[in-house]
Structure 1
Amino acid sequence: MLIWERNLLVCWFGMFVTGVGMSQIAPVLPLYIDRLGIHDTALIEQFSGIAFGITFIISAVFSPIWGQAADRFGRKPMLLRASLGMAVVIFSMGFAQNVYQLIGLRLLQGVITGYSTACTTLIATQTDMEHAGWALGTLSTANVAGSLLGPVIGGYVGENLGLQNVFFLTGALMLIAFITTVCFVKEVFIRQDKKEISAKEVWNAIPNKSLITILFATSFVLTLALYSVEPIITVYVTQLSSTTNHVALIAGMAFSASGLANILAAPGLGSLSDKIGAQKVMLIALAVAGLTFIPQGFVKDPWQLMMLRFLLGLAMAGLNPSVNTLIKKITPASLTGRVFGFNISAQYLGVFGGSVLGGQVAAYWGIRYVFFITSTLLLINAVWVYFKVYKKT
């Protein structure tokens, strides 16, 4: 096995567990906050929103910082720092005595993140251009799948093994990621930029600023689209169901169906982007994803929704690999970590923005409009990509 292939395998596991660690708290959060002494429903909802969203906001701020550190000190040290730090912090959440300690630990989790940034940078810089799309496509499935399957895993563990064990199990998995990184990830790091440069200088060093802006925006819209249904999926499934049995489980399956499809399709679509061009795959994927959202607003039962979410995941699987491949192509090697850090920040903001958008649109206009507005954003993004990327790349 080649070094980059072994590194890819280890990074995939670590990024999957990181994605789970970021999102597994969602279904158990209200229950855990109630256990911590907050019993008023309105306060539980308020604290749940803060505790869930604060990690992603802080991660968006710190991802470029850790990306810069990866360029300066190497990617493997950042993997070790992030995996061990998250193992300790997530494990500690199981011992929280009040809601403020829990929120503080969620904030700290956002600060010490950076595993995904370091992994993406490591694989992008070690993989030759011939296999870059496939490698980055395979890697992209880890974070997306972990984030989308995390709520299902957290809900199952919390219901069957206890709420605290959600944190203990995830912390233990992150510790395993740390150990495997120590033992198996190999990196020969040669720092190419000896002088510290500012964010403005990083921006000035990028040869195609309009293209990188579109790629960041596409990453934001992609994750916003995936997470716009998260706040309303359980309510929507309840409306579609003829029975109240297993609503939470069916909602979790519907939400995570796109994650399963992403795992299955992303490596193949990444490989396809190596052959026909990442810009073509990105354009088609955006258009298909945008169109797939429309019928989700007209479904009559949860299984139809689940099937459409699966088809959405197949389309979305072509986006992350294409974006990462194009970023790799246009970014100077010495700035790769920082630029990928900004891209992952856009994704974290998309998670937060999608959750806010879905909840607000559903509250003011109705649940079905969440799908229609998300579809519109994706199709607008597709038109932008057609004129500014596809026709010029």
Structure 2
Amino acid sequence: MARMCRAEVFDPAEVAVAHVFSRTVRRCFLMGDDPISGKNFDHRKRWIEQYLQQFAASFGIDLLCFSLLSNHFHLILRSRPDVVATWDDKEVARRWLMLCPHRRKPDGTAMEPTQPEINSIAGCPIKREEIRSRLSDISWWMRLLCQRVAMRANREDEEHGRFFQDRYKATRLTDEASLLACAAYVDLNPIRAALCERLEECDFTSVQRRIEAAQERAQNESSARRESQRTPASKLRHRRDSFLSPVSIDELVDPVGPCESESKERCSEKGFLAMSLASYLELLDWTARQTASGKRGRTPASVPPILQRLGLDRASWCELVSDFGKLFGTVAGRPGCVDAMRSLRTHRRYHMRRRARELFADAG
């Protein structure tokens, strides 16, 4: 069955969460250890992570999770047109010119745009509104990301042609259950691929960055207690996970609205899961023990409470995480949520695989 047009699934004017995935041509290991050439291309993962940090600071899009492997990568993105709507015309122009600069520094990074460059966009209503729409468009994020990685890798290898095998795949996440399962699926990718055994060893993943930031924060607080003084905010601001959206969201306490980030390292301060970072890490650790064969350690005596709140049992949860990419296509969510949705242009129903329906039925 032909893949549905993305314009049927994503409305640029509304907030949407998507799992996006892209693979290199012929599944070659062009971003890691290549067994054919004997070369190591791990540095290309560092390229991608640097681009992710740059994009998170400039786009009106929240980066929730990421995982970079040797022949593919996963991202979970949340478009934020509500945040972009709060930016004035000059801020829209400035952010776009930081993504697509007219002038660059010797190291290739963008130079701060001049006032005439900003005015060339801010003063043109048609161009300005088009760029405003692009800044919260997941397709533009992926277009610039894949294009820059491909051009840089081809230049390094003195090659031409495609680097990624096809257009990226996008699955819309429609509810908390699908978002939580997809987040675990993305963060546990290296463990599932038998590349490592522990969460803190999952290189080039969002979970590793969050763990590193938590360890740095604990060390800073410990040092501050020993010195009997408060740690300066400047030391805590630039953390390893500062470009990622916070994990926890409390719909009863957290402020409503765009919640634009003051640090300018990410789009907003809005979280995405109704659980703390510690609870999320505990759930990942429990799930990794269930899905990774030969994993040392003991399974906890009880399932984390979040699974009970979502109505998922152990077996259903583990299958949702391990087979997320196979279970869901265009959209992901509970059957009732998916069945109630219609495509934006033709108003067609979305297809949901039978096994996905059975898992949620068993959990209910």
Q: Same fold (TM over 0.5)?
A: no
Q: What is the TM-score of this pair, normalised by structure 1?
A: 0.27
Report which of the two has the higher share of strand. Answer: 2
Q: What is the TM-score of this pair, normalised by structure 2?
A: 0.29
Report which of the two has the higher share of helix. Answer: 1
| Greater RCO, 1 or 2 (C-alpha within 8 Å, sep 6+) | 1
